[in-house]
Amino acid sequence: MEPKSTTSCPVCEGQDDPDLAPSFLGRIMALGLFTGLAAVVAASPVTGAAIAGTLILLTISVAVHELGHLRSALRHGVTVSEFSVGFGPVLAVGRRWQVPVTLRLVLLGGFTRIIGGDSGDRLCAQHTGSVSLMSESSSRVQSRIMLGGIAYNMVLAWVGITAAMYFLAPMKPATAILAPIATAAAVVVMTAVGAAVFLVALIFGASALTSEGGSILSAPGQLETVVGSHGSAVGAVLLFFGTINLMLAAFNVLPLAPLDGNHIALLAWDKVQRRRTGRPVSLKAIGRFRMAGAAVVGLAMIRFLVEDLIRFLS
C-alpha cells in the first residue's frame, strides 16, 4: 500500500490519542492470560517455567530492540510520540525521556512511533520548527536510527553468549580474556549469516533448513531442552537469551517490510537513483516494494504458525 499523507499533524494526533489510555478490558484479558499461565506452571512446573521464561526473555529482547531505535532517534533530535512494549490494548502508561511509554497486552513484539517515519507526515504550524521529522533527516541519520535496534540486540547477544561461556565451560585465563573478543566477531558474522538463512527460510520454508522447522510454539520446548542438556541452568538461559537476540538482529537486517532492513534498503535505493537520474524513488514504487516485502513476511509467518500448530497437535 502506498504511504498516505496524514491530513492532520502527527504530534497533535499523538497528544489526543485515546489509544494511549489504559484499557479496562485489556487488563481483564491480561489477568485471564496470567491466570492461565499460572495454571500451566502449577500443572507442569518445568514446562510452565519454560513458557514463562521464553515470554520474559523475548519481551526483554524486543523492548531493548525498540529502545535502540528510541535512544538513537532522540540522540539525533528526532521526535518520538510513543515507545511501546507489546501490541493491542494498553495496560499501563508512563513517561520517560518526555516520551509516552506504554505496556500493551500482546508482548510478542513492540514498536517505536517516530514522527516522520512515514514520508507523508506533515506538521501543523504550531509544531513546525520545534519538532524534527525523521523523513527530513539525512539518509545517514535515518540509517543510524534503524540500525539502533539491530545494534542493541547484537550487544545483548554478545553479552548473553559471552556470559554463558563462563558458566558452561571451564576456561584457562588466556582463553577467558580472549573469549569476549572472539564472541564479538562471531556475533557480527552470525548476524550476516543468519540474515541469509532467514531469507532462505522465508522463501522456501523452514523445512529447507531443517527437518524440524522453525517455530514460535516450539521455543519454550527449546529452552527446556537447552536447560536440560547443560550442567548450568544459568549458563543455558544466558545462551538461549543471547541466541534470541542474535536471531532478532539477523531477522531485522532483511530488506522486507516491516523490518528495519526495509527502510535502510529504501534509503540506499533512493540515494542510487538520485545519483543516476536526479529524481527520488516515487511513492508508488516505495509502496509496491513495501507491499511485496510485507506479503513475503506475512505469508511466511502464517505458514510457520500452521506448521507449528500441526507439529504441536500431532
Q: How confident is the model at residue 277 (pLDDT cuts 50, 70, 90)?
A: very high
For the ranges 122-131, 166-175, 195-204, 274-283, the lowest mean pLDDT is seen at: 122-131
Mean pLDDT estimate for the chain: 81
Indicate whether 6 pLDDT > 50: no
280: which 3 cell numbers?
527520488
Indicate whether 98 pLDDT > 60: yes
User: Given CA atoms 199, 65, 151, 241 in this order, what sign does their dihedral have?
Assistant: negative
Q: Which helix (H) or strand (E) element contains residue 85?
A: strand 80-96
Domain boundaries, the chain: 10-313
Read off the pLDDT of residues 25-69 as tens digits, 9 standing for 90 and up: 888 888 888 888 788 778 888 777 888 888 889 999 999 999 999
Q: Which of 56, 57, 80 has the alpha carbon at shortest distance from 68?
A: 80
Read off the pLDDT of residues 196-215 as tens digits, 9 standing for 90 and up: 888 887 777 655 455 454 55
Q: Which residue has the cell 517455530?
A: 215
pLDDT of residue 177: 82
Higher pLDDT, 106 or 205: 106
For the ranges 142-156, 221-235, 241-255, the lowest mean pLDDT is seen at: 221-235
